Structure 1
Amino acid sequence: MAAAPQPPMRSKSDLHQAIRTTRRAVLVVNTRARRGRRYHAAILARLRADGWNLVADLGVDRPGGLADTIAAAVDHRPDVLIAAGGDGTISEAARQLAHRDIALGLLPLGTTNNFARTLTVPLTVAGALDTLVHGVVADVDLGHVNGRVFTNMVSLGVSARVAEHAPHRLKRILGRAAYPLTAAAILPRHHPFRARLTTDDGRTVSAHTHQLNIANGGFHAGNPITADASPDDRLLTTWPLGGPRRTSLVAAIAGQVAHGRRRTQASHPFLTTDALTLHTDPPQALDIDGELHGSTPARITLSANALRVLVPVGFPDT
């Protein structure tokens, strides 16, 4: 059976007006996220009190059920798909909403909430719900790695090992602190790798490191990358965190935490581009928005204005 044709894309202003007029939405809550199960009922009550026309309330409580649940939500063709969960939930929702006439509403309930931070969406449930009511529709960029969509980050090295081994229960209890604790246990046995990045305009950069990041957004591990990185600047920001010595990784992380808000994409060690090819020796697993998918070599590109989102008034939409 042929897939149902997608409706034509409305302008941002027309979609915004439809949202404000009908408030037709679907709610998807990942109850496996750190705060999902705790806040599901309260979120539902607040949305109804705010006058949202919820055509479906869908929960995800088992591994592997997220993609099918979001696909079911999209089939309702709401004006807004409200995704409540962590970066993995938001990333899957963005993948399925790319180039569709549906806005993504974020309720960040995860551990680091990088994409919400870079969109300036409040991290409190009440603040994020206020954004759904008072926010505006914006278009932002999405990344693609080996054909898979990402919202915020592709990384490889220690972070991929952390994504694989950080206990879900520990993340529920400790939040962001679970990641450095897991990294501290992994780092003594981790070996550096060599990476070669080639941009489409002919630049080549090599690195020998324990960690390499390629960001579409402005935050990594809940901390700002630079003062000017944005998911709406048509740029991927790439950088190694330190060199081959383990101590250099620790120092680079500390430097990013301390100075991220004062650095710019033009400063060392950042490389900015809209498309690149990545090779590593040895091959490395790819951590895509906190989930492991595939390995190097990788082709990484950017799709401009590919996703519609509800953001606070004042977000710089270009």
Structure 2
Amino acid sequence: MTDTTLPPDAPLYIVLNAGSGASEKEERRAAIEEVLTAAGRRFFLHLVEDSDKLDEAAIAHAGQACANGGILVAAGGDGTINAVARQAVKHGCPFGALPQGTFNYFGRTHGISEDLSEAVHGLLAARIRPVQIGSVNGRIFLVNASIGLYPKLLEEREHDKKQYGRSRVVAFLSALKTLFQPHRRLRLTLEAEDRTLHLRTHTLFVGNNRLQMKQVGLTEQAPEVADGELAAVAPKPAGKLGMLGIVLNGVLGRLGDTGDVVTFGFRRMTVRTPFYGRRRIKAAVDGEVLTLSTPLHFEALDGRLRLLVPPASRPEASP
């Protein structure tokens, strides 16, 4: 799809997640305000102190952006960016991202700088590019959605980060700890267009981000998500040591070499779970753990998000 230009005076409606500390919060606010004030750009910045009020802020600012020909902007991690992007899609307004999380897969895939000042400068010269998103039971995701062990891993990771701080090392060590805890295997039936698969696995992962696939070593096995497909990834059943091996191979970028992972591409897929009366399951959607009703319906939504990308970015460029 072709990029389009924006009016140079379109106001920016920015939802900023406060982050983990007062100094960090003020530094982020100051960096945004300094660049936009110097550029003479009209903007409205809303600082969200309580994460429970993030959706409320996103809804309010999406409505204002839509009514005033403005741009809705999210500043925070992938979860924050998802929450605000969800309202941009719903209201039909352009969306900008200022990535400030641990991994920032979405921003890095689209060439958006992790340096806050640089990312704000990028917004000022950005063009609109329609990009693909995924959905599960109507809930959009920009990076991934999953069920099984991964949601449990995320819950444990958030708990550990509150105690030991936010870093990739803490995230990895927390994952290892979770792997050695008791957990059950899922019995799943996957119905995706021309195929039906019956699987037993610890986790089902659905990805919409080639950078993440490349980093774990699934570039050749997983389909290119830019062509309108999502990627389904499911490790084959394994014991605790086997799961540890799978994780380590993922960290080393060699997951596709093990032969222990089922991968395929799809545009629409239904996932059925024989829970014998249980109709709800925990799912992780861009890092947020939700409870969804089964069966799960996944779909690739091509060009649904009108994303602001910096001038040097290429459409869905391989990292």
TM-score range, shorter chain: 0.7 to 0.9
- Report the counterpart of residue 315 of structure 2 in structure 1: 316
- Report the counterpart of residue 64 of structure 2 in structure 1: 76
Q: Is 1:60 aligned to 2:48, yes or no?
A: yes
Distance 2:295 2:229 in 1: 20
SS in 2 for 1:239: strand
Give the counterpart of 2:264 among 271, 278, 281.
271
Q: CA deviation at 1:289?
A: 0.8
Amino acid in structure 2 at the alignment position of 1:291 = E
Q: Is 1:233 aligned to 2:230, yes or no?
A: no
- Unaligned 5+ runs, structure 2: none
Q: CA 1:189–1:173 in 2, change beyond 3 Å: closer, same or farther?
A: closer
- Report the counterpart of residue 288 of structure 2 in structure 1: 291
Distance 1:160 1:191 in 2: 12
Distance 2:168 2:10 in 1: 33
- Report the counterpart of residue 7 of structure 1 in structure 2: none
- Report the counterpart of residue 123 of structure 2 in structure 1: 132
Q: CA RMSD in A?
A: 3.0
Q: Could you report, residue by residue, the CA deviation over 1:49-107 in whole angstroms, capped at 9, with x for unpaired residues?
A: 233211x2101111310001011111212532121011111111111111644221111
Q: CA 1:163–1:259 in 2, change beyond 3 Å: closer, same or farther?
A: closer
Q: CA 1:51–1:277 in 2, change beyond 3 Å: closer, same or farther?
A: same
Superposed, 1:112-123 pairs within 5 Å as 112-123=103-114
Q: Which moved more, 1:22-31 or 1:185-194?
A: 185-194
Amino acid in structure 2 at the alignment position of 1:199 = E
Distance 1:216 1:150 in 2: 8
Amino acid in structure 1 at the alignment position of 2:46 = L
- Report the counterpart of residue 6 of structure 1 in structure 2: none
Q: Could you report, residue by residue, the CA deviation over 1:275-301 in whole angstroms, capped at 9, with x for unpaired residues?
A: 111123557410111111124431111
Superposed, 1:1-318 pairs within 5 Å as 13=4, 16-18=5-7, 21-32=8-19, 36=25, 38-54=27-43, 56-77=44-65, 78-98=69-89, 100-167=91-158, 170=161, 173-220=165-212, 223=215, 226-227=218-219, 232-259=226-253, 269-280=262-273, 284-295=281-292, 296-312=294-310, 313-316=312-315
Q: CA deviation at 1:200?
A: 3.8
Q: CA 1:132–1:40 in 2, change beyond 3 Å: closer, same or farther?
A: same
Contact 1:225 1:256 in 2 (8 A): yes
Q: CA 1:37–1:208 in 2, change beyond 3 Å: closer, same or farther?
A: farther
Q: Which moved more, 1:163-172 or 1:140-149?
A: 163-172
Amino acid in structure 2 at the alignment position of 1:212 = L
Q: Which moved more, 1:182-191 or 1:27-36?
A: 27-36
- Unaligned 5+ runs, structure 1: 1-10
**What is the TM-score with the length of structure 2 in the denominator?**
0.82
SS in 2 for 1:259: coil
Q: Which moved more, 1:222-231 or 1:308-317?
A: 222-231
SS in 2 for 1:191: coil
Distance 1:276 1:162 in 2: 24
- Report the counterpart of residue 8 of structure 1 in structure 2: none
Amino acid in structure 1 at the alignment position of 2:227 = D
Distance 2:253 2:160 in 1: 31
Q: CA deviation at 1:231?
A: 5.5
Q: CA 1:243–1:131 in 2, change beyond 3 Å: closer, same or farther?
A: farther
Q: CA deviation at 1:189?
A: 1.9
Q: CA 1:238–1:74 in 2, change beyond 3 Å: closer, same or farther?
A: same
Q: CA 1:183–1:257 in 2, change beyond 3 Å: closer, same or farther?
A: closer
Q: CA 1:229–1:31 in 2, change beyond 3 Å: closer, same or farther?
A: farther
SS in 2 for 1:139: strand
The percentage of counterpart residues that share the same residue type is 24
Amino acid in structure 2 at the alignment position of 1:118 = T
SS in 1 for 2:165: helix
Q: CA 1:192–1:206 in 2, change beyond 3 Å: closer, same or farther?
A: farther
Number of residue equivalences: 300
